[in-house]
Structure 1
Amino acid sequence: MASRYPHIFLNSKTLAATVLVSLALLQGGCSSVFFFPDNTIYITPDRLNLEYEDVYLNTTDGETLHGWWLPSLLDEPAKGTVYYLHGNAQNISAHILNAAWLPEQGFNVFTIDYRGYGQSTGAPDIEGALHDVETGLRWLARHNSNTKQPLIILGQSLGGALGLVLASEWQQRNEEPGLNSVILDGTFSGFRYIAREKLSSFWLTWPFQIPLSWTIPGDYEGTDKITSISPVPLMIIHSTRDSIIPFHHGVMLYDAAAQPKQFLQTDTPHAATFIIPAYREAVLEFINHNAHTPQTEPKNQVPDI
């Protein structure tokens, strides 16, 4: 999640603008700091030689979500379906490269824009985005109801935080189809925690870190929810060079998670994991290792990496 606060003030206009932003946050809370959508089309899958279909979903609260379905490029049946949840800025067209390598590896990919992003209607907030990712998973469950293929959640940054809560609640409710694995890449340990951390990093917002962070719903902190993902195998990926979501967030999530779990330590910039072939291979190995009937009882531990 990009921080909009730690800037050097160069002139009085910049200072005045920052004061106004701080006052606006005090009046309306700071949930909005998690979302920076736009509707620019950066690239479409066909430009990457990928087949795709536009998918439009109606939410129960009256919004319309746009997504892309990317089928596997192999002639044989797909190895599984990856539900990819993108980060907090721009829209799916700016993030698609992070999942575009999967169809040639034999996986279907489904990804959506949260409300307010891209072609999706509405304005984003935490609870609305959580509703959206569940709407997408329910569509995917119906779409793949006859395939019995492995189902994987892959979330990056904000998408990882949303996917974490989704997977936790999906498991707790014993929803079908079950999940085969969950992968969280560059994810923060909690909505309130990261907001407080970012607010405390700058002198103008430091005094407001506690009251502003309490305007964020407290029911969705990753470190509280992550244990419930078990016994679904979990991989946490985090970079020691992540300047947006510091490395300790990944460690906190890993420590809070139950087995089976793995930690993949990387050294790329934020959300740039999949530019490195070795990291792709590690993720594929994890997915393929867990490509079997979804777990309903604890299984043998997966060794850390």
Structure 2
Amino acid sequence: MVPVVFIIGVWSASDQILFPKWKGITKDFRECSLDGETVWGKSCGNIRLTKSLWFQEISIPSLNGYDLPGWFVPTRKNGISLHKGVVLFIHGGGSDRREFSRFIPFYLHQGFDVFSFDLSCHGEAPCRFPGLSFGSRESRDVLSAYLYFNQKYNNILMVGSSVGASSILIVLPLLKGVKAVVLENPGLSFERLILDSPESSGLPNWMVKTLVGLVLSRGKFDSLASPENSLPFAKDVPLLFIHSRKDSIVPYQHSESLAKLYSGPSEVWIPDFGSHGLIWDTNQSEYESKVRKLIQRNIKQ
């Protein structure tokens, strides 16, 4: 019975890693739980339903071989004359484009058109491989969005959370036209994320390695593409790392280590408040002040 229980336990754990659910929010944009509204705002951030902003439904091609659906929210159509460029929102694992809807008004007022899209296997995007790949496939989606908008804008800003932030860092050496990046709670690598998680602390090393191997096999990705492997090859893009000391999913030390690996301009803000992906919600004014200063230093109208 012991081997059977072990196999079932490891398989169940790999399911939770490959197919995470953010606050129980489903991929059906028509549904919204109370928890979902608490973290993402009215209608779980679905601007189709709130009708609070003028936007377009657009899809962009991905290097992965499918189209990525997204919302394009322009400044001028929303009554804002200031125009500096475009901001690309890259959501976290188990999330979708709705995660960043509560940020849209702030970035519009900084003069940025907004593009928020679903990464592969998230939201309404296609899913040709099983689940989350912790930046392996998602980073190619990020690069695709950059290539698409780099043809149209001189100033590109990127904002990523968790796996989204890690995905940006993986392709950072190729993002030569990006003026600045806001990175909230990125991880060093997939293995370090699992090894450093609270759930792994009481397990023997061989069991954790078995779990990592199973996830890689089931998810059909390798772990060679990682922020810690990519950052030494990048140096030109200003980075703002934001990571809460109270983050129980990705330890804040990951951001500190990543900043040390980067030879380019960077700032690290480690507040004592907020949980994973929810620092803005805890202290909106200080969060926005940090981002506003990053924009003022690096992006001119």
- 2:159 equivalent to 1:139: no
**Aligned-residue offset at 1:103:** 1.3
CA-based RMSD:
2.9
- Where in structure 2 are the equivalents of 1:6-45 lying within 5 Å? 19-23=7-11, 33=17, 35-36=19-20, 38-41=26-29, 42-45=44-47
Question: Which residue in the other structure is 2:231 paired with?
Answer: 226
Flag structure 1 segments of 5+ consecutive residues without an equivalent: 1-15, 172-177, 294-305
- Corresponding position of 2:72: 69
Q: Who is 1:270 aligned against? A: 276
Matched with 1:209 is 208
Query: Residue 13 of structure 1 aligns with which residue?
Result: none
**Would you say the 8 A contact 1:84–1:99 is kept in 2?**
no
Equivalent residues of 1:86, 1:157 under 8 A apart: yes
TM-score (norm 2): 0.77
Q: How many matched pairs?
A: 265
Question: Which whole-Å CA distance do the structure 2 matches of 1:121 and 1:209 have between them?
Answer: 30
- In the other structure, the counterpart of 1:192 is 191
Name the structure 1 match of 2:169: 164
Q: Give yes or no for contact 2:274–2:280 (8 Å, CA) kept in 1.
A: no
Q: Is the 8 A contact 1:87 1:95 kept in 2?
A: no
User: C-alpha distance in 2, partners of 1:190/1:99?
Assistant: 29
Counterpart residue identity of residue 168, structure 2:
G
Query: Paired residue for 1:174?
Result: none
The corresponding residue for 1:49 is 52
Aligned to 1:290: 298
- Render the CA deviation track for 1:202-226: whole Å, top value 9, x for unaligned: 43x7532234435462322212212
1:66·1:120 contact (CA, 8 Å) conserved in 2?
yes
Q: 1:135 to 1:32 in 2, by over 3 A?
A: farther
CA displacement at 1:23 relative to structure 2: 3.9
Seq. identity, %: 19
Paired residue secondary structure (2:246): coil
The match for 2:289 is 281
TM-score, normalized by length of structure 1?
0.76
**The residue matched to 2:123 in structure 1 has which SS?**
coil
Cα shift readout 1:56-96 (whole Å, capped 9, x = no counterpart): 23335442321111112453241221111011123212442
Q: In 1, distance between residues paired with 2:6 and 2:293?
A: 46
